[in-house]
Structure 1
Amino acid sequence: MRRTRVFPWYVAAAEVAVAAVVVVLDLLVPTLVILGLAGLSSLARRSGPAALGFTRMARPGRMAVQVLALTAGWALVQLGLVMPVVERLTGATQDVSDFAIVEGDPAVLGGLLLLTWTIAAVGEETAYRGYLFTRARECLGLAGAVIVPSVLFGLAHTEQGVVGVVLTTLDALALTWLRLHYRTLWAAVLGHGFNNTIGLVTFFLVGPVGALW
């Protein structure tokens, strides 16, 4: 059995810095580039998915129900509190025009739900709450591991405007809490998938939903 290689903290810092440049400069598709970095990093370290947080789930059904309830509650907090405050402070609204194609179209909804549970939920969680969280923790400690990947995740959604960046950054913090609370990255994957599913189904049924006040 191969032993996992241990690298000094500055190697992890360099990896986080490269990922940050990829996100800030919006190089290619940032999530896919970061996943590529994650793959190379894991090969060099001789580590597997468990090292990024994909640990075994104890009582997965119960966890899924709890995460769904928490995600629905968080969505209400975002709409009822966070979004109104951010909109009033910035004088802007969240740009969700990219999702207009889903309204009333079941075929598009099905396609986007497939993408949201694969590229978004699994892919982005592996990239941000898995790989970047792990590497940032090695060089910046727990606080840095929570904050830096969350900010980068928000900046990866600049197409939604300043309000969208703030909201997705806060979403990232909530997903990080799920990862830490349940001690598995699968909790964040479920939270991400449920959050996007709620948003897409709502958009499909009634169109864009703004701040509640």
Structure 2
Amino acid sequence: MAFPRPGGNSSLQQSEPFVDSGFDIFEWHEQFQSCVRYFVDHAQHHGPIQAVAAFVNIQLPFQSAVRPILSSAGTASPSPVPAPGSSSSSSSASRPPPPPPPQSIPLGAVHSPSPLSRVSLVPYIRRLVATGFDFPAVLHGFFGDDWMAGIGPLLEAERRNYLFAAKSDTWLQVKTSYDMADGQTVPFLRPLQNVSEKEIVVAETNWSEWLAMQDWMLGPRAPEDERGGIKQED
């Protein structure tokens, strides 16, 4: 399944995230931050998300034994919100309450980083991809209404990485690469789900580019077919 990006271009030669000339990284970052806030303030406290996280064996930020993160504001408990897709406004459900007004910081004091700066969504995207849970309903539940624009490019890349990992090594080595510390081993692997022909073609093109990279077939030495692009692997 290929997920669109803001200003996306269907050209295979511009398929990588952040390479597309129509991609606005600053606009993307705002939407990505919206996904992080939704995940921290709402999703991780929602029963179905906790169930999925438990099943695929990955800790949520509030479950961390060291410096747990309960909300984007720090230690305050999040206010309950309707689940995604409920009768309440979907857009309001995916956005946390406005942050408290900034407080003055004494001269010379060290400014503490935002709790959001300690949260990475990539481990969760990787785990959902590897276990076959990266379908729209789950992604919406984890990351809110902005998930497609906010984590779509990362999801596309991680799905392709999973294909590359399967092609590069054995099942055991692939599983090991998806295991995490503190007992958060991946309980099972599933073949990539809901794959489209377009996604396979893009992966083939990028894999061929990687093979060319291994052989230093770059720049003026890059192999070209009749379309002027990198040859696909037979």
| TM-score (normalizing by structure 2) | 0.28
Higher RCO (CA-CA < 8 Å; seq separation 6+): 1
Instruction: Work out which of the two has the higher radius of gyration on C-alpha atoms and give 1 or 2.
Output: 2
So what's the TM-score if we normalise by structure 1?
A: 0.30
